[in-house]
Structure 1
Amino acid sequence: MDKIRIVGGNKLHGTLPISGAKNAALPLMIASLLTEETLTLENVPRLRDVAQLMQILSNHGVDYSVDGKRAGQNLLAGQTLHLSASGIVDTTAPYDLVSKMRASFWVIGPLLARMGQARVSLPGGCAIGTRPVDFFIDGLKALGANIDIDRGYIVADTNGGLKGGRVVFPKVSVGATHTIMMAATLAKGETVIENAAREPEVTDLANCLVGMGAKIEGIGTDTLHIQGVEGLHAYRHPVVADRIETGTYAMAVAMTGGEVVLEGARADLLQSAFEVLSRTGTEITEVENGIKIFRNGNGIEPVDIVTDPFPGFPTDLQAQFMALMTRAKGTSKITETIFENRFMHVQELARLGARISLDGQVATVHGVDHLIGAPVMATDLRASVSLVIAGLVAEGETEVSRVYHLDRGFERLEDKLSACGAVIERISA
């Protein structure tokens, strides 16, 4: 099993390319099930989750080809996928595939909309909370689906196709918004989704669906109006820049000091996080090709945060910000409101010398003068990269194990950081 080895102490300088967003690429790939024609996606990151989802879609009969594999091409640039679901051969998504990545559960929406039936395993994924599928089930029922649960599978069908309806989510859910929005594009009549997620990845999917011929109004708001159409057609769509990768590397620069241009990044996708980061003493400037992050040798100011759905502070940046606050000049409080079990990185940061106390969903971080390198273990995707950020400033050597979590969401992380001066390498076991 691979590990990441880091020797802390170097400031970061240079240009770091930002990949396409994994959280946008996955639902975009699933949207290929909605049409017989080819969906082409540009700027798709080379990640384990992307490869896993391609396998799952292939199981349903999706043919695909990949541009960007030739020798000599820039492997830090995104790839282009061509996805063709001209013939869906299987409407079952089996446990052995879905259990490896919960986003694959979202295929239930397009399969029901196009084929009128689906049998999809209940999902797995990162162990950071229950994340129930009730919102998905209730939303599909509102569109006329008949749903039963049979031995760990959701078995669904329709009587003559889905029908437009009113879906009100009791709590914002990105995955449920993706799924119901895709299903509604082919439903008969109008669907209204209330309390819809507003994340940029949801907007990116909606814009792609419109490009494919869907009729969606209210994009970017919490109320979506979708008029069902007979069918969708071919389209070419670039995946939006990864705001979580952007925020992660911005915090790495804030942690180490230095100056880095995050090439291809978009500031408008991270206004809340950047407002917080600027209060720590980090300078953030929009430039022609992205965003410049700068912090001089001054200390890091402590800042309190509360995670919230977009446009609030992203839960997917909470662990990274906690790593940054371990070196702040004072005490900060971090309140997690999205997932009930997303502080698993606390004990591993403590191994590096961090002082963090927990009280329910609130973490109190007492800044320390220095961190000391040590062996640590990743527990989930975002927790793993928080350990990398801490390791970049820890004295001596830090070794992060279970880096397969990193490979699910960060494309060639060690190559990007080492190109900016970090002493970091992957060690193959």
Structure 2
Amino acid sequence: MKKMIVKGEQKLTGEVTVGGAKNSAVALIPAAILAETPVKLDSVPDILDVHNLMIILRSMNVESHFNHGVLEIDPTQIKKAPLPGDAIRSLRASYYFMGALLGKFGEATVGFPGGDDIGPRPIDQHIKGFKALGAVVEEEGNKVHIKAGSEGLKGARIFFDLVSVGATINVLLAAVMAKGTTIMENAAKEPEIVDLATFLNNMGAKIRGAGTDVIRIEGVDSLKATNTHTVIPDRIEAGTYLAFAAANGNGVLVKNVITEHLDPFIAKLQEMGVRLEINEDSIYVPGGDLLAPVTVKTAPYPGFATDLQQPITPLLLKAKGTSQVIDTLYPGRVLHIKEMQSMGANISSKDGIITIKNSESLIGSEVSAGEIRAGVSLLGLALMSKGTTVINNADNILRGYERIIDKLRGLSIKIEIITDNREDGDK
């Protein structure tokens, strides 16, 4: 496991370029196995999740090569094989292989996915969609086996009981080569879903309505890549750096941003009194603003992203007054709170509401990154605190933020990474 050693009272200044979207890449990579040709993706983030997906590809005899953001995947020799348990358990997005394998082979056996500990994220809506397409779903221990009927998958009308990004993507992957027409209603609208639909359409799929709550899919017989697909910029990474710059920056330019993808986040920063200079594909944050408290309520896109409620917390701690965060999607997303309290933050949670009050006396401490976004919020707080903070389980941050140490170095921030090889019980 890795540790981050963060010296406090460091201010961000300079510029940072946002990489490709993690949440797009982890859907595009499983989608690539649907193609009958090699696939090339550009602007793929160099993060652990991507490398874990490459391990899963290799287990199916799918070669992949990753170099400077370009990921080449050759699914032409793909074989049906059980997916490796360790990679599956460490990465929740591995469940997209359910839909992709079901669409490719008519069956899939996948271990129940792992990923961040942010509370229950059931896959009942995924299974509901697969069943609607004519698949039989059997759960056995910690595995789920999905198999199409003798006549293959057939298009269907599917109304999701709740808005689910994962279910929308998974059913889309299964339906893209099903016979007939599939209509998904109450579908998620996230930009990453639009990115996936664009990728598939460029290979010959017939998907309409991505980005709205009704998606129509006309099944096709085959998919063939003819060009390189560029992954959209990561709106969560962009929002994280914007929040850090507003809380603790002295002139920060965040580049490679699709500003429309951040509309609700930008609106909340402006409500707090953060000055922003919004350009076509970048945002400049002068820093040093007097900040007002706000209430943040997460919601499916185009609402305030749940993945940004923790990264905005260091900024809320600087507001003069009491702010609240209500995460309607994952109310259990509170692993940062106890750690922040140990650093002197006036933050608490009760009845699904996180209360955040102005905190002046922040002191470095030894904390743990329980998951990606909780971990990065601790990093932001550490930079504002006095003294030194040690963040254990820093791998969780690294698996979600591409080259974060190098990017922070470009913002005049120094962070040390050390690998802790001690066994439990060692002194």
Partner-residue secondary structure (3-state), 1:252 = helix
Question: Match for 1:414: what amino acid?
Answer: I
Amino acid at match of 1:44: V
Residue number in structure 2 paired with 1:6: 6
Give a deviation string over 1:144-180, Cα, whole Å, max 9, x none.
Answer: 1111112221112112221100111111111111111
Aligned to 1:15: 15
Equivalent residue in structure 2 for 1:130, among 117, 120, 125: 120
Q: Deviations over 1:113-137 (max 9, x none)?
A: 1211111111111111111111111
Q: Deviation string for 1:291-344 (max 9, x for gaps)? A: 212222x43221111011111111001111122212211101110111131011
Q: Secondary structure at the match of 1:282?
A: coil
- Given the alignment of the two structures, is residue 31 of structure 1 paired with residue 22 of structure 2, yes or no? no
Higher mean C-alpha deviation, range 180-189 or range 110-119: 110-119
Are the aligned partners of 1:162 and 1:188 in contact in 2 as well (CA < 8 Å)? yes
| TM-score, structure 2 normalization | 0.95
Q: How far has the Cα of 1:109 moved from its partner?
A: 0.9
Report the CA distance between 1:374 and its aligned residue: 1.2
Equivalence for 1:299:
290
- What is the identity, as a one-letter code, of the residue corresponding to 1:283? R
Question: Partner of 2:416 in structure 1?
Answer: 425
Partner of 2:425: none
1:231-242 map, 5 Å: 231-234=222-225, 235-242=227-234
User: What displacement does 1:16 show?
Assistant: 0.4
Q: Which residue number corresponds to residue 306 of structure 2?
A: 315
Instruction: Give the SS at the match of 1:92.
Output: coil
Structure 1 residue 289 displacement after superposition? 5.0
| 1:400 aligned to which of 368, 391, 398 | 391
CA shift, 1:263, in A, is 1.5
Distance 1:370-1:181 versus aligned 2 partners, 3 A rule = same
User: For 2:411, what is the secondary structure of its paired residue?
Assistant: coil
Q: Report how far residue 418 of structure 1 moved.
A: 2.1
Alignment match, 2:348: 357
What is the distance in 2 between the residues matched to 1:128 and 1:357? 17
CA distance in 2, matches of 1:291, 1:357: 31
Q: Which residue of 2 aligns with 1:272?
A: 264
CA distances 1:20-47 after superposition (whole Å, capped 9, x unpaired): 0111001001111111211110000110
Q: Secondary structure at the match of 1:392?
A: helix
Q: Indicate if the aligned counterparts of 1:66 and 1:82 stay in contact, CA closer than 8 A.
A: yes
Given candidates 82, 86, 106, the residue that maps to 2:76 is 86
Q: Specify which of 133, 142, 161 is matched with residue 152 of structure 1.
A: 142
User: Aligned with 2:376: secondary structure?
Assistant: helix
Whether contact under 8 Å (2:259, 2:281) holds in the other structure is: no
Q: Could you tell me which of 175, 185, 195 is aligned with 2:176?
A: 185
Cα-to-partner distance string for 1:214-271 (whole Å, 9 max, x where unaligned): 0011121011000000110014200000000000000110111311111211211110
Q: State the secondary structure of the residue aligned to 2:169.
A: helix
Alignment of 1:203-222 (within 5 A): 203-222=194-213
In the aligned structure 1, how far is the partner of 2:181 from the partner of 2:45?
34
Structure 1: distance between partners of 2:249 and 2:397? 23
Within 5 Å, give how 1:376-395 maps onto structure 2.
376-395=367-386
1:192, distance to aligned residue in structure 2 (A): 0.4
SS where residue 4 of structure 1 aligns? strand
In the alignment, the residues of structure 2 paired with residue 41 and residue 357 of structure 1 have an alpha-carbon distance, to the nearest angstrom, of: 42
Mean CA deviation greater in 286-295 or 168-177: 286-295
In structure 1, C-alpha distance between the alignment counterparts of 2:215 and 2:159, rounded to whole Å: 11
Q: Is the counterpart of residue 49 in structure 1 residue 49 in structure 2?
A: yes
Q: Moved runs in structure 1, 4+ residues, more than 6 A?
A: none
C-alpha contact (below 8 Å) 1:98/1:104 kept by paired residues: yes
Q: Does 1:197 pair with 2:188?
A: yes
Q: Count the aligned residue pairs.
A: 418
Q: Distance in 1 between matches of 2:362 and 2:291?
A: 14
User: C-alpha distance in 1, partners of 2:355/2:418?
Assistant: 33
Task: Report the AA paired with residue 320 of structure 1.
Answer: P
Distance 2:392 2:143 in 1: 33
Paired with 1:340 and 1:334, the residues of 2 have a C-alpha distance of: 10
Identity of aligned residues (%): 39
**What do residues 71-96 of structure 1 show as CA deviations (whole Å, max 9, x unaligned)?**
xxxxxxxx101111112212432433
TM-score, L = length of structure 1: 0.95
CA contact (8 A) 1:323 1:349 kept: no
**Runs (5+) with no aligned partner, structure 1:** 69-78
Are 2:10 and 2:413, in contact at CA under 8 Å, matched by a contact in 1?
yes
> Retained in 2: the 8 A contact 1:8–1:423?
no
Any stretches of 5+ residues in structure 2 without a counterpart?
A: 421-427
Letter in 1 for 2:90: K
Q: Given residue 196 of structure 1, which amino acid in structure 2 is its aligned partner?
A: A
